[in-house]
Every structure is written in structure tokens, then in C-alpha cells.
Chain A
Amino acid sequence: MEKRTGIYICTGCEIGWSIDVDNICKSYAASTGIVFCKSHSALCSVEGSGLIAEDIERESLDSIVIAACSSRYKTDVFSFGENIMVERVNLREQVVWCGQPNHEDTQMAAEDYIRMGIAAVQNIAIPRPYIAENISEEILVVGGGITGITAALEGAAAGYTVHIVEKEAEPGGYAKKLYKQMPSKAPFDVLAEPVINEKIREAENNPLIKLYKSTTIDRIEGQPGKFSVQLSNRVSHEEDSALRDNGVTFSTKPGNEGNHALSVGAIVSAMGWKPYDPSGLTHLGYGKFENVVTGPQFEDIVKNSPETILKKDVLFIQCAGSRDNNHLPYCSSVCCGVSLKQAKYVIEKDRNSLAYIIYKDIRTPGMAEEFYREVQKEDRILLTKGEVEDVDKLNGRLRVNIKDTLLGEDISILVDMVVLATGMVPSDTKELSMSYRQGKGLPELKYNFPDSHFICFPYETRRTGIYAAGTIRAPMDIPSCMEDAAGAMLKAIQCIESVKRGESVHPRSGDMSYPELYMERCTDCKRCTEECPVGAYDETEKGTPLPNPNRCRRCGICLGSCPERVINFSNFSIHSISSVIKSVYIPDEFEEKPRVLVFVCENDAYPAFDMAGRKRLKYSPFVRIIPVRCLGSINKVWISDALSKGFDGILQIGCKPGENYQCHFIHGSELTETRGENIQETLQTMMLEPERIRTEFVEITDYDKIPDIINSYMETIEAIGPNPFKGM
């Protein structure tokens, strides 16, 4: 259907006196689909936006092009309801503020950008959301430890039904094995009672919470809003009747393996941690001497056979197998507090015992410092910095040999028991048994912790609708696990609510577009299923992609990956961007006006260009900028379209890849490298120089580097000369 588009050019903010707006307006007097082209001195004013609103009504416009400032500003002013498509052309930041006023090249840039805006708006459609039927609003929590139980209670308090799956016979996890807890609030000189028992009771009495004990997950399939979960369970008769009381029926008789299917909308993975395997710590006496135990073992001893520790001096070795490249390179964050607590057990159980703590650093951040200060007041708890060399035996006692102490000399301490403060290892998320094409578990960033942007967006796993919480995500103490549980549950609820509205979740929250596949042309090449950063695609045995729109984060990487160009979004498609590229006027080679197409990532590079403009940093007027959802969303065909059209070069500017990647879609910008070879082949077949495409990585604050990046590329292009396809 032909569009009815109105074009508005703002003359404010120096636009009007830098370019000849009237001339542009006249040129659109009689163009197809364009109802008019108007200018106004301040489109963002009440009068300006009012004028647009009136025109929309009177002229029955369905789309408008606003050539003014960057789309990052005045978004609310230029919103005219969900049925009106708005394309913003950034004349202010990308043309007049970075160019020479009243110069032919600035004028040409403005004209091109308006053409590009029109091409964009005329070749996209307003997204109609994908809303699945029978969306489940129930939530699955995997793991019944303190994190899982807290998550369930918080979810239930918000009105959602929560299913907790616990593989052990009883819930509570490690928190239930504690004798006492470190105090997290005043008074800091008294150990706190474990919080877990009360939480379990609350969960068991909550009608919205269903607890499955001795249960594991056989399979998770589907997508947010519609995960189907197969549970497998070996229940006793009593457990089965308890479950029945709770409204749950396993399909076979009690005492046998049973199966139960759930339909849930989102999942919280609170799968917890395992103690680091101490068997490699023989130099510290583990496995050699009976009275060398780990922190978790010591906790068990004090809780269940406290008489064992009477009349014993106990030494705690911190960072046993932690902060150590031969073992766990990271710090487990809680062990300092745990050993301080356990040292208190030693002196409280026996008034004559001594406790020693040998540490690298005492890490009691925040209010834990208050507890540390209290412990330091105990004269039977002795703390020193040092490196434990080894543990041996002397006269029937354990001798701990320590170097690099604060005392300035090597020392040996004789004790009756040694506790190794071993670290925390995250559980294996493969136990989620997800039937995803990209694997059964959650992809990990480092040290098996399943996250993707641990600073800014800590809950983002790479599996939409599945949120990690607690010690599976990072080593943390019980109060942190409880905070974390609430956060992950919020994300789970939010995911369900977003799916109900047909909207994407973070980072393109609210986006209603989704990938639509024209399957007739698909060749089962599997690139989309492999490159999707969030595993949104499953595939058939043959390798045909099966999209799951609710898993999709709308980055467009699949669109970029597809050699057959069958993947498109209604408002971002192969055709729409190709049309934008083709709308640019390419002067012939004799005019000596080269053209470079610049794809910029809308997340970081685009704002950097805005700031460069704002700072009035000047760069070549020969570039034409197209924002993309991610560098990974650039399809090869756009490159060949641009080169066939006569563009002299192509720059792709996006977020930093690598270990400290900043790409919001994890590896989108990295893909430009892996796909680079393929693109070079295209250049070769076109007999073009490899320099005609270049990729640059910037941070959002790198605006000062923009002119250099552009101008140095222009020099390269000028050196290799015009694209021979120009004018063909």
C-alpha cells in the first residue's frame, strides 16, 4: 500500500542558516507517496508538534519524516501514537553541527539524509506484536536453597504461582547446614540464628508455592511465556501424599520414578554452589591428616557433633585453593566472614581453646567490617597475614608452617585442627537440561558463572526468560543471595508481562518487532541458529531453523547472518536498509566527491556521533551514516549494494569486542571479524580493494576520536581512488 508521508524540516538550531531548506522543500513538491514537505523554525515547540499533529489528522498521514535533531532527543514530542511511523533524520548533529555552513557538500549531505529518511519510512511497517496463546504466568525456580526459597516467597508475594524444584529430599540447601550465621546487623558481637528454617516454613505454608522434593529436570523446552518443563522424581509414599495435598500429582505410583509436566512463563535458576574439591590441597594436609577439614565440613562438625572440637586449638587457612591460579583464580567473597564466624565457634564452645586465622587479606566489605572489628576484640582469636607453606605433624599435633607474616619472620603454629577456607564453585547449569540447539545449560562468561553483562545488567543470562540468582551467578553471602533472589524474580515476572504485551525484554525493551522468516528460500545453512547470541533458534534434524520469537532480543544478528536474506523485521529489513542505501545520490568520479557509507551501532557509536556534533567536531561531509541495531545485524548484501551503487568505501563502527566486550548483544561486533573473510570474497569477486571496507570499535565516550576515524578512512579511500562501479 502506498504510504502517505509528510516531511518536516526544522530550521532551528543553526539548521536553517546552514543549509537551503526551501530548496529541499520545493524538490519534494510532486513525489510519489509524499504529501508535502514543510519547514518550521522549531518543530519541537508546542506549535511545531501541534502543526504535525493537525496535518496527520487533516491529510490522513500514516508516516512522517522529521529532519531536525538526533532521535535521541525529543522522543516524546515526536510521538504521534502507535499508528504513525516516525523517521527522524539527524540534520543537527550529523550534518550542520559537524559540517561547514552553506557549503555545497553540507547541502548534499542534508539532501541525502532526507532521501534516506524517506526511503526508510516508506519501506518499513509498524510492528504488530507476536503474542503467543496460552501464556503461562507461573514461574519455575530451580533449587530450593535460600535463594530459591526467597525467590519463591517474593514471587508469591507479588501474586504469582511459583514451582520450586529441589533435587535433594529436603529443601534448604547449604543454608540449612549452618550452625549459626554471621550477623548482618547490630549487635555484631552475637552470631545470628540461620534464617532458612523460617523461610522454608513460610514457603511450605504459602498456597502459591509448590515444592517438588527429590526432583530433577528432565527437559526444558519452549520459550518465555511457554516453557514446558518435564520433571522427574523418585518419591516416597509420604512425599507423594504431601505433594498431592499441595495439588501436585506425579504420573506414576509413589515409590517409582514419576514424571510431571509444568508449563511456566519464566525460570529462576537458583542452583547454588558446591564447595571447591579440596583433594588437590594435600600440601595443606587435606587427605593426609584426619583433623584437616574444609570450612563446610567444620560447619557440619560444629552443628552435629560439637564435642569433636572441644579441647582443640583450631587454625583457619584462608584462600585455601582460592585466589590461586592452580585452583580457583577468583575470591569467593564469603570465606573471610565464614572463618571469623567459625573462629567464634571455637572459643565459644571451649573457653580454653585458641583460634588462629592466617589470611592474605581480610575481606569483610561494608558492614561485615563491624563483625570483623568485634572478632578482633577477642583475645583468643589470633589473626595474622601470611602464606601457609605446608602442614605437617609434630608430637601428635598439626604443625602449620607460615612464611611472609606480619611478624617479619617465618613461623610455625601447633594446633589440633586445621580448617581450610575453600571457595565456592557454581553448580552446573546443564542440569537445566534445556533442549536448546545451542546447549543444555546457560552460556558462561568466566569461571562457569552464567552471565553476560555483570556490571550494568547483572541478571542478563544469555537465555531470555531464565535468570540466574545467588551463588550460581557469583560467590555471595546469604543476605546478598536473598537480595539477588528478589531481583531475579522481578526479571522473571517482567519477562512474562513483556511477553504478554508482545514486547522484547532488555536491552530493546518494548520493541514489538521480531524476526520473520521466509522459509521457502531458507537453505538450512544454520548460520542464524549458530550466531544468535541468545539461542533464540532451535532447528529440525535437517537443520531448518525454528524461531522462538519470545526468546529473541531483537538485535538483528540473524538478519545479518542470513546469506539468503530470508530474515526480516517489519521495521528493520534487508529491503528497508537496501532502499536507504540506494536512495543516496552518488556523484560521478569526475566531481571528486567520494562517498563512504558508515554503519554505526545505535547503542554506543551513534551517541558518540551525537556528542561529536554537539562539540562541533568537524569531519568529512562525504560520509552517510546508517544506524543499525548491532554491527552483527549488517547483512553482506548491504555491502555489495553499497559498492555496486558506487560508494567508495564502507565503515562499520561498533562496540568493543573481546574479553571486556561492551557489545550489548555479546558478540555482535565480534562477528564483523568472523564474517570479514566472507565479505572480502565479495570484494574480490567485484575486483575491489580490501580497504573498501573497514571496521572500527569505539566506546560511547570516544566522540573525540570520531573525526580521526572518519578522516583517516577518507584519506585511505582517496589514496585508492574512486570505486569503478560508480555511475554503472
Chain B
Amino acid sequence: MQKTKPVLVIGGGISGITAAVEIAEVGRKVVLVEQKPYLGGNVIQMNNYFPKLCPPSCGLEINFRRIRQNPRITYYVNTKVIFVSGKKGNFLAKLRTAPQYIFDNCAACGDCASVCPQNRPDDFNYGYGSTKAAYLPHDMAFPFRYHIDERYCKKETCNKCVEACDYNAIDLSAEGKEFEIEAASVIVATGWTGYDARKIENLHYADFQNVITNVEFERLIAVNGPGKGELHRPSDGKIPESVCFVQCAGSRDENHLPYCSAVCCSASLKHALTIHEKYPECRIRIFYIDLRIMGRNEDFLAKVEAVRNIELIKGKVAGIEEISGTKNLIVEAEDIMSGKKVRHETGLVVLATGIVPSGIETVLNVDQYGFVPEVQAVGMYATACCKKPMDVASSLRDATGAALKAIQY
């Protein structure tokens, strides 16, 4: 069988990485394309995984090693797939790489960042904290090299980083490039973004500083996050004495996302336990409609239920108020089991916002929610959160399955 063309994998998150290494280890060539400057997608921003509360970088480290050591994998970061044409066995993809001001020969010594006078909001930490305009995306970045954020860099008028670089790795006049690759088949693993919490007006994400989303929480509590492992709330940097989690924030709601995102319940339990392990006195409340903790993760729910300072309350949050001065919040909800309205003052509110598929539409047609529920064109396969919301374990399973479909051409 002549299968010499590579498989194109679009999206370098955990699903795309998995698809790529699984295909390459069969013996096929793979081209992996990621639009961010690093591989790892959403999960590399996670503090830990449920139910083991273990760091995602542990499994990613193995996968990065598999990529480093496998000559059959070519990867491009800072690169978007802008167009795919053709059919099974014979696709042509047009790729666009953003200007790479720092080249592959960067040794990641950090001298450019030391001399860089410009700051930028740290997007890896969702804008909490800042980095220099010449920056390493994060501690475990793969590829391990610096980047320049062109929105903040003064380019040749400054030129300090160019002068500081011992490796001649910086060219501030670099331009982006477009190129084409041929592929036998395509896997679309462009993943998801969190639902825009500003749209859920009654929860006041846009108005109150101490109302944050679940993905932001991951960074705020992470060892390599802005708080270096301490949970400082946004308004004043204090460690909150109580935290409320609002489940289905904009999910299972026909005004927002009608579907269930499948992971947010387990994620909030994970957050609650993470807080509890750090701050045993912190009072934690989780407001939910149904607790959807599937399969063996039931053990994890039992573990949370056994913690005195974590309270699980069946009821949808109706509104949030801010107390002027302390910037504490009052969460109002109906406790469905008692039928009573409850109001709890809390230092931090975490909205369990759902999963919105992203980046698929340049390649495949999507349904009303943005998903690709079934195969549209033989040879092109959407996987993981491009198909439906799913957790990491399910995404990996699905990406491995997509790998098998892809190698059939």
C-alpha cells in the first residue's frame, strides 16, 4: 500500500497531540498545526486533572518526548490552517504562520525578556499578571523557546532584545509566511473555548471582580500561576475565606448553551478539593442542578461529600450581588431540597461555564452549536470537543479512534 502523504492534524491541544503521536507511532507521517506559540491547548493551562488531582504536564511530558523523538512528526506553532481542499487521499491545505520574530535556534536563555522594556498581559494566565513582550509562554512550553508579542513590541525602535541575544535568534523585521502541504487525510482537533461569561448578565462576571470563571480559577490556584500556588482573589489579593461555585453557568439553558458540557461538575469538585487541601478552613459551596459525575468518578464525589467544609446544594443560582467596600459577593439561590431561598456571602464566585467548540468552521460545516456530530467528508474527521463536549480521557479515546480513521487513507 502506498500511503506516503502525511496526515494533517489541526489543533495542538491534548487531542491533536494524541492523534499525532498515535499516528506517527503506527509509522505514518504527521503534520501537526497549532495556532498558539506552544502545544498543549487548554489542558496545559489546567492546574490538575480530576479525579486524581494530578498535573496535566505529567502526561504531556511523555507526549512531548514522543514528539521530540519521533522523526515522523512535523509540527508548526503560531500557524493557522486557512483552507483545506481536495478529497480523501489527496488534500491540499494552506497554512499561514504568523511572524516568528524569534527563531528555532533560541536557546531559551531568557536574556531577551530581561532587557525587554515592554509588558503585555499574560494571556496564559487569562490576563492575571503580565510578562515582557519578549516572553516564554509558560514554564513547560513546548517548543521551549521565547516569542515576541508584536502588539506590544516596539520593534526596531527599541531593538534591545536583538542586541542582548547571544544566539542571533531574533529578527524584528521577520514576516509571516504562507505555505501549502499535501495530506492524505485530516483530523480536526481545534478544541474549545469557555463560554463567554459576560453574556450571563445575572451572574455579573463583567461587573464584579471577584466573579471569575472555572478556567481562570485553574490559573489563579496553579503553582505556576500568578499566585504561585496561593489563591489570591482579583479585587484585593486576599485569600478568600469562602468560595461559591455556580454550576451550569450558561449551560443547560436555552438562552445560552442548551447542552450540558459534561465536565464542569467534575471540574468544580476538583476545584473544591484543591482549595480544601490548601485551605482546610475555607467554606466551599457548590450550587448545582444535577451532579453529573460519571462512571468511576463517583468515588471522587463521595470523597467531596465527606468533607465537612464543602456543601453541595441542589439549586440554580438566581443572582449575585456585590457588597461595596469588601467586594464580597452575595449569592442568591433556591435550595431545591428545602424549598427555601438562600443567600450566602462569599469572597469569591467561580462560574462553571461550559465548552464552546472553536476553530472548526474554516474546515468543516458545523451544527447550530458549532459541533460536528458526524463524519461529513470521508478522510476528514472532527474529534474530541469538536464533536461534542467531553472530558480529557474521552477526548484522548476519541482522538485515538480518529487516528485509525485517518490512517485508512
Contact = CB atoms under 8 A, between A and B. Distances in A.
Contacts of A367: 259, 371, 373, 388
Given A365-B292, A456-B62, A700-B57, A483 B107 contact: no
B326 interface: no
A159 interface: yes
Given A457-B59, A486-B400, A603-B61, A44 B393 contact: no
B252 interface: yes
Interface in B121-162: 139-140, 144
Contacts of B69: 75, 509-510
Given A366-B259, A483-B401, A494-B22, A446 B59 contact: no
B398 A487 contact: yes
A699 B54 contact: yes
Contact of A330 (B22, B68, B223, B296): B296
B299 A42 contact: no
Interface stretch (A114-122, A127-135, A368-376, A529-537): A368-376
A611 B140 contact: yes
B62 A510 contact: no
Contact of B166 (A12, A69, A664): A12
B115 interface: no
B58 to A, nearest CB: 5
B49 A455 contact: yes
Given A12-B107, A329-B299, A366-B388, A158 B404 contact: yes
A703 B228 CA distance: 11
Interface in A460-511: 474-476, 480, 483-491, 493-494, 497-498, 501, 505-507, 509-510
Interface stretch (A347-355, A356-364, A622-630): A356-364
Contacts of B292: 361, 363-365
Nearest to A184: B373
A304 interface: no
B296 A474 contact: yes
B57 A458 contact: no
Interface string A396-411: 0000000010101000
Contact of B396 (A46, A456, A488, A607): A456
B374 interface: yes
Given A331-B295, A333-B294, A367-B388, A489 B404 contact: yes
A518 interface: no
B4 interface: no
B339 interface: yes
Interface of B, helix, strand, loop or mixed by DSSP: loop
B105 A487 contact: no
Nearest to A361: B290
A369 B27 contact: no
B167 A45 contact: yes
Contacts of A366: 259-262, 388-390
Contact of B294 (A363, A457, A611, A700): A363
Contacts of B262: 365-366
B394 interface: yes
B58 A700 contact: yes
B404 A493 contact: yes
B58 A604 contact: yes
Contacts of A157: 405, 408
Interface string A686-728: 0000000000000111111000000000000000000000000
A475 B403 CA distance: 23
- Chain B CB within 10 A, most for which of A154, A497, A509: A509
A484 B402 CA distance: 10
A486 B26 CA distance: 14
B256 interface: no
Contacts of A604: 58, 61
B291 interface: yes
A423 to B, nearest CB: 10
Contacts of B49: 455-456
A365 B294 contact: yes
B229 interface: yes
Interface string A139-161: 00000000000000011011100
A73 interface: yes
B109 interface: yes
A490 B404 contact: yes
B25 A494 contact: yes
Contacts of B54: 455, 656, 660, 662, 699
B26 A497 contact: yes
A658 to B, nearest CB: 10
A614 interface: yes
B398 A497 contact: no
Nearest to B22: A490
Interface size class of chain B, counting residues whose CB lies under 8 Å from the partner chain: 35 or more
Nearest to A705: B223
B404 A75 contact: no
A701 B55 contact: yes
B377 interface: no
Contacts of B229: 704
A509 B66 contact: yes
B57 A701 contact: yes
A46 B224 CA distance: 33
Contacts of B66: 506, 509-510
Interface string B224-240: 10001100000000000
A368 B400 contact: no
Given A458-B396, A480-B394, A369 B295 contact: no
A363 B393 CA distance: 18
Contacts of A363: 290, 292-294
Contacts of B98: none
A330 B298 contact: yes
B176 to A, nearest CB: 22
A408 B339 contact: yes
A662 B405 contact: no
B1 interface: yes
Contacts of A159: 1, 408
B403 A455 contact: no
B224 to A, nearest CB: 7
Contacts of A41: 166
B59 A487 contact: no
Nearest to B47: A701
A487 B407 CA distance: 12
A44 B401 contact: no
Nearest to A454: B393
Contacts of A655: 58
B373 A185 contact: yes
B166 A485 contact: no
B342 interface: no
A329 B344 CA distance: 32
Contacts of B389: 365-366
Given A12-B167, A505-B25, A370 B296 contact: no
A231 interface: no
Contacts of B166: 12, 41-42
Given A333-B295, A364-B260, A664-B62, A406 B337 contact: yes
A30 to B, nearest CB: 31
A55 interface: no
Given A331-B295, A366-B390, 5 more contacts: A45-B167, A455-B49, A486-B402, A490-B407, A506-B25
CB-CB nearest 5 A-B residue pairs = A456-B59, A486-B401, A487-B400, A365-B262, A490-B404
27 contacts: A44-B167, A45-B105, A75-B69, A76-B68, A158-B407, A186-B367, A361-B292, A366-B260, A366-B389, A406-B337, A454-B296, A455-B54, A455-B393, A457-B59, A474-B295, A486-B404, A487-B400, A494-B26, A507-B62, A509-B21, A510-B69, A604-B58, A604-B61, A611-B140, A615-B139, A660-B53, A704-B229
